[in-house]
Amino acid sequence: MKKITHFTLLFIGLFCFITTQAQFTPDKVCRIDNGHLIFTINLKWSVKEQKELMQLFDLDSTLIAQVFNGKTVISGEYEAWKIKKVKPNIVELSKPVDSTNDKNIKINDLLLEIDKWRNFNGNTEDVSVIFGVNDFKLPTAFNYNNNKAQFILPAYKLAGKVCLSGSFNGWSTTQTPMKRVKDGWIIDLSLKPGKYTYKFIVDGKWTEDPTNNLRESDGAAGNNSVVYCCNHLFKLNGYKNARNVVVTGNFFNWNPDGISLQKSNEGWFVPIYLKDGTYTYKFLVDGEWMTDPGNQIVRKDGDGNLNSLIGIGESYLFKLDGYTKAREVVLTGSFNGWNHAQLVMDRTETGWQLPYVISPGNYEYKFIVDGDWITDPANPITSRSGDQTNSFIALKANHLFELSKFQDAKKVIVTGSFNGWNTQGYQMFRKGAKWILPIYLSPGKYTYKFIVDGTWILDPANTLYEQNEYSTNNSVLWMEP
Amino acid sequence: MKPERIKYNILNILFSVFALVFTCSFIVPDPVPFNYNSIYYPYYPFFSSQSITYAPEFSLTSDSVVIPLKRAGRLFLIEAKVDDQIGNLVFDTGANGLVLNSTYFRNHLKSGGSIANGITGPVGLVEQISIGKLEFAEITYKNIKADVTNLGHIENRRGFKILGLLGFSMMRNLEIVIDAKNNELILTRIDKTGKRVNNTNPEFKADYLQKFETTTNILFLKGKIAGKNLNFCFDTGAETNAISSDSNKNILNSLTITRRSTLKGVGSARSEVLFGRMNDFSIGERQITEMETIISNLDALSEAYETRINGILGYNFLEQGTICINFVKKQFGIRFTNKGEK
């Protein structure tokens, strides 16, 4: 029996040894030795492991195919590479370390590569957040009403200067000083509903909000405080004897844990931030599902259950004049993933219309009239993607591209970092002596150019420009938070 | 390696103007675009001098100031006002002075010009301008000179408005404490002997001190890899450490290689870049393991600084602790965050 155990253990050990040897370990596959870059490759690696090897070390698939096909001499354009068999199924692929002057490297490419290696995506705010609720230890430390936010820091009374810095002011360290009050520091700001991250700066030192339980990593060693400027109040009157009331809906993937409501004199409530859009929801009172008795608008789901319905944000009225003899007109666009059946328009005396709530942004859309896809005849602004021309709309546009002169031009396009330098759109339209295009741009930097009848030009009205990779210039635009 | 590392002073400008006239007469312009950058490839004027004579008018309202640093990836930014422009300066000790972004300063008065030299020779003209006022924290500089170049690529990668780069030259007469963990730069007045002036704060206690010899605004540190003494450039603007790809074989053998890229250059040229970890780095008695590094050719950097450079200590080194630099005492000190690592 003992012998069998020993034998089994030996077998397991041997198996582990063999599998470990065969396993692709990125840290162990490559080394530099005596001026040579050497890859130790196990010919038993799976196709997946071979792919990982190629991706991590930027090795050409043709080169690796030769190695795994058992070639002993590398042919083709990879002559610098040599193969040496060191053990059964183990080969070393090597070449001299390239220590020549890297005169042709585009440095930005190198830096972008380093970002890629570290999975760094830049300092981008998370705009995808759909909902959020606050969690302050001291509920009075943050107030929000009618787009006015008030931050209170009830501490650091002896500090000489305190500033507030966050995503709402581009993380400025100087532009938002707080006012000293009896028990600490205070500031009022105009903020739109949304999620914001912030820190206080107390005499030059970054400081988390001590009254706020919500925080997220600042990308370095610390945390940023998180606050939601709420735009909706879920309220349930009565049910004072209930032990637990939560709300959940499609904004929370109908998670039954839901968002807890707080008790009030009238019943239950919770202020919440909801991104602009249309939502269905229900309350769970001590585990019992119920629609909102304070909201008469309900909608049946796919299983025939009724859910309460709310729209957050302003709705835009899409209209199509004419086509009165059509049987059906459907609105479709980038706002609903080009769904061709979801948004059936309402018939009016003169045509068709549909109010639809969507968040501020740039959208492309079309109408489907009895199966025929058409652009909006009342909208002169279009964008092209490949062979397709779509109507373009900027909801809550916050910037106007303008180009004076060029009155004889036939077509003027504005393109830039905001649309991936699409050379076919957005097409501007003429208003008086100018070509214009209203657009929605979130805070940040944009580079752009106009294309006037095929000729690329800088914005003559903008003094800011920078050199691009083609040694020409791009106009530069900053959108402030 | 580091195009922004422009050594300038009055002599330099004069020499550079001469160099411009002299070289333009027979040098064919290089087809490589003049691509300024912060990590690897220095561009520097011909005939750069190492003496420091440049001293802009300077005022600091208190004896010590804590400057909150913003983080943009692995860059440290200082919010500043340069004449009428508000934005950020990259705290970049690899830059030898103030380098401003041409997007915002191309129309300022030109005070001179110099040839910028790349790895392959002269690749562009760095223009010099005069700035009326530079303000950050409680510090004001007046009537300063700056180089101007395109720094749009930093903005585009990091999403912050970058007015320019700020090197050591602007703070040589102050004690400089860099606390990367807490994102703070603490500047303290010092006297002619390097001691703090009217300061009641406790002196910086270092775990390790190193004297440095430099007459430039660039700081070089001695370190060891695999027992070999090496000369490193201390560079807060370098987003990763670097080791020269033609280092001693024992040094290269000690590195772990984790990634490789071949980057496409102009035309069909491709260049190899290796990424890995230093396993056996030590400074003084302190061994620091597993610092990320790039393995690259650093010849041009060595040439730019007129000294042999084996590597760059950048962000990954800054992460190791709080650093104190005193140019008057010519002393570098570090207090390690991880006290246990030996």
pLDDT value, residue A11: 57
Mean pLDDT of B302-314: 79
CA distance to partner chain B, nearest, from residue A156 (Å): 16
Going from the N-terminus, what domains does chain A have, and what CATH number goes with each? 2-96 (no CATH), 131-229 (2.60.40.10), 232-312 (2.60.40.10), 314-396 (2.60.40.10), 398-481 (2.60.40.10)
Contact between residue A413 and residue A428 where contact means Cβ atoms under 8 Å apart = yes
Mean pLDDT of B109-134: 62
Cα–Cα dist A226/A242, whole Å: 30
In a mutational test of the A interface, the residue from B181, B261, B293, B312 whose CB has the highest number of chain A CBs within 10 Å is B261
Cβ within 8 Å of B, A 184-203? 201, 203
pLDDT value, residue B303: 67
Cα–Cα dist B285/B338, whole Å: 14
Going from the N-terminus, what domains does chain B have, and what CATH number goes with each? 208-336 (2.40.70.10)
Mean pLDDT of B122-141: 79
Quote the radius of gyration of chain A (alpha carbons, Å): 31
Greatest mean pLDDT range, A302-306, B163-167, B295-299: B163-167
Q: What is the pLDDT of residues B190-203, one digit of tens each?
A: 988 999 887 667 88
Contact between residue B129 and residue B110 where contact means Cβ atoms under 8 Å apart = yes
Exposure b/e, B29-60, CB count within 10 A at least 16 = b? ebebbbbbbbbbbbbbbbbbbeebebebeeeb
Cα–Cα dist A414/A427, whole Å: 6
| Whole-Å CA distances, A358 to A57, A156, A452 | 44, 43, 32
Cβ-Cβ contacts under 8 Å, A205 against chain B = 66, 68, 182, 184
Cα–Cα dist A374/A388, whole Å: 10
Spell out the residues 6+ positions from residue B168 whose beta carbon is closer than 8 angstroms to its own.
Answer: B93, B96, B176, B217, B218, B219, B325, B327
3-state secondary structure of A429: strand
Hey, what are A310's tokens? 């709310």
Cβ within 8 Å of B, A 105-164? 105-115, 117, 120, 122-124
In Å, how far from its chain's centre is CA A62?
36
Alpha-carbon torsion, ordered A200, A205, A211, A213, to 10 deg: 90
| Whole-Å CA distances, A95 to A38, B184, B242 | 7, 44, 21
| Contact assignment for A466 to B103 by CB distance below 8 Å | yes
pLDDT value, residue A98: 72
Contact between residue A429 and residue A380 where contact means Cβ atoms under 8 Å apart = yes
pLDDT value, residue B22: 32
β partners of residue A311: A278
**B150 or A457, higher pLDDT:** A457
Question: For B312, phi and psi rounded to 5 degrees?
Answer: -125, 135
Cα–Cα dist A295/A293, whole Å: 6
Contact between residue B241 and residue B292 where contact means Cβ atoms under 8 Å apart = yes
Contact between residue B281 and residue B287 where contact means Cβ atoms under 8 Å apart = yes
pLDDT band, residue B138 (cuts 50/70/90): confident
pLDDT value, residue A180: 97
Cα–Cα dist A320/A344, whole Å: 12
Cα–Cα dist A156/A160, whole Å: 9
Burial class (CB in 10 A: 0-12, 13-18, 19+), A391: buried
Cβ-Cβ contacts under 8 Å, A113 against chain B = 261, 263, 273
β partners of residue A90: A42, A87
Cα–Cα dist A212/B78, whole Å: 27
Give the count of beta carbons closer than 10 Å to the beta carbon of residue A284: 18
Beta carbon pairs, A and B, within 8 Å:
199
3-state secondary structure of A44: coil
pLDDT value, residue B50: 35
Mean pLDDT of B312-326: 94
User: Containing H/E element for B324?
Assistant: strand B321-326
pLDDT value, residue B53: 40
pLDDT value, residue B168: 86
| Whole-Å CA distances, A322 to A310, A317, A333, A341, A372 | 31, 16, 20, 20, 15
Quote the radius of gyration of chain B (alpha carbons, Å): 19
In a mutational test of the B interface, the residue from A25, A30, A32 whose CB has the highest number of chain B CBs within 10 Å is A32
Cα–Cα dist B242/B309, whole Å: 10
Cβ within 8 Å of B, A 218-277? 218-222
3-state secondary structure of B253: helix
| Contact assignment for B103 to A445 by CB distance below 8 Å | no
CA distance to partner chain B, nearest, from residue A171 (Å): 8
Nearest to B68 among A107, A114, A204 (CB): A204
Cβ within 8 Å of B, A 78-97? 97
pTM: 0.82
Nearest to A204 among B66, B73, B119 (CB): B66
pLDDT value, residue B263: 74
Give the count of beta carbons closer than 10 Å to the beta carbon of residue A148: 12
User: Containing H/E element for A117?
Assistant: helix A107-117
pLDDT value, residue B76: 95
ipTM of the complex: 0.81
Contact between residue A58 and residue A95 where contact means Cβ atoms under 8 Å apart = no
Q: Quote the crossing angle between the two packed helices A47-57 and A61-68, to the nearest 10°.
A: 140
pLDDT band, residue B342 (cuts 50/70/90): very low
Cα–Cα dist A336/A358, whole Å: 10
pLDDT value, residue A115: 73
| Whole-Å CA distances, B112 to A198, B18, B122 | 43, 11, 17
Q: What is the pLDDT of residues B209-246, one digit of tens each?
A: 999 987 777 889 999 998 899 999 999 988 889 898 88
pLDDT value, residue A271: 96
Average pLDDT, chain B: 77
Give, for all 481 residues of chain A, the pLDDT tens digit. Answer: 555 556 555 555 555 444 445 678 888 899 998 888 999 999 999 999 999 999 999 898 989 999 999 888 887 777 688 999 999 999 999 998 875 655 555 556 667 777 777 665 544 455 578 999 999 998 889 999 999 999 999 999 999 999 999 999 999 999 999 999 999 999 999 999 999 999 999 999 999 999 999 999 887 778 999 999 999 999 999 999 999 999 999 999 999 999 999 999 999 999 999 998 889 999 999 999 999 999 999 887 777 889 999 989 888 999 999 999 999 999 999 988 898 887 899 999 999 999 988 888 899 999 999 999 999 999 988 888 778 899 999 998 999 999 998 989 999 999 999 999 988 878 999 988 899 999 999 999 999 999 999 999 999 999 999 998 888 999 999 998 8
Asked if B110 is an interface residue toward chain A (Cβ–Cβ < 8 A), one would say: no
Cα–Cα dist A356/A276, whole Å: 11
Q: What beta strand segments (E) does A46-87 contain?
A: 82-87
Task: Using alpha carbons, select from B234, B201, B213, B257 the residue that is nearest to residue B320.
Answer: B234
Nearest to A99 among B79, B103, B245 (CB): B245
Task: Using alpha carbons, select from A260, A133, A264 the residue that is nearest to residue A193.
Answer: A133
Cα–Cα dist A65/A75, whole Å: 11
Nearest to B157 among A101, A122, A219 (CB): A122
Least confident of A175-184, B46-55, B176-185: B46-55
Contact between residue B126 and residue B149 where contact means Cβ atoms under 8 Å apart = yes
What secondary structure letter does DSSP report for A54?
H
Alpha-carbon torsion, ordered A188, A193, A195, A201, to 10 deg: -10
Q: Are strands A473-479 and B57-60 parallel, antiparallel or unpaired?
A: unpaired
Mean pLDDT of B309-328: 93
What percentage of chain B reaches a pLDDT higher than 90?
39
Question: Residue B38: is its pLDDT beyond 50?
Answer: no
Contact between residue A131 and residue A274 where contact means Cβ atoms under 8 Å apart = yes
pLDDT value, residue B125: 56
One-character DSSP codes across B290-311: -EEEEEE--HHHHHHTTS---E
| Contact assignment for B239 to A220 by CB distance below 8 Å | no
